Amino acid sequence: MKFSDGYWMMRDGVHASHPVEVLDVDTGPGSFTVYAPVQRIRHRGDLLKGPVVTLTCDSPMPDVVGVTLTHFAGERRRGPDFELATDPAGEVSVDDDAATLTSGALSVRVGR
């Protein structure tokens, strides 16, 4: 099923949902995960009205950053699957302004 008209226009009736704010940030060894809803959260009932996008940034080796954006994680993996390096090599820092992953000369920063 094709959802786009080229790569820049959406088909009629299809609406993209883009994250609008950072709700929460979890950290792990050499990685962080950002939970970002597609609408502003004013009260807890707003969490039921739309999807929450999950952004995971990790660093398997120096000067390499992996970014995974997940909207729906409840499907079966179809492959192809490749083994990736799993030794965490990045430094994570989270403050009131941003979450930052630094790996060698490369860094990823997600504003809050």
Instruction: Put residue 52 in one of left, alpha, beta given phi > 0 → left and psi -120 to 50 → alpha.
Output: beta
Q: State the Cα torsion 23-27-32-36 to the nearest 10°.
A: -10
Q: Token match 């996008």: residue?
A: 53
pTM (2 decimals)?
0.81
pLDDT in tens, the chain (112 residues): 566 666 677 778 888 888 999 999 999 999 999 999 999 999 988 888 888 999 999 999 899 999 999 988 888 888 788 887 778 888 999 999 999 999 999 999 999 8
Q: What integer pLDDT is reported at residue 72 of this predicted model?
A: 83
Which position has the token pair 């409840």? 74
Domains of the chain: 15-111 (2.60.40.1760)
Amino acid 67 reads V
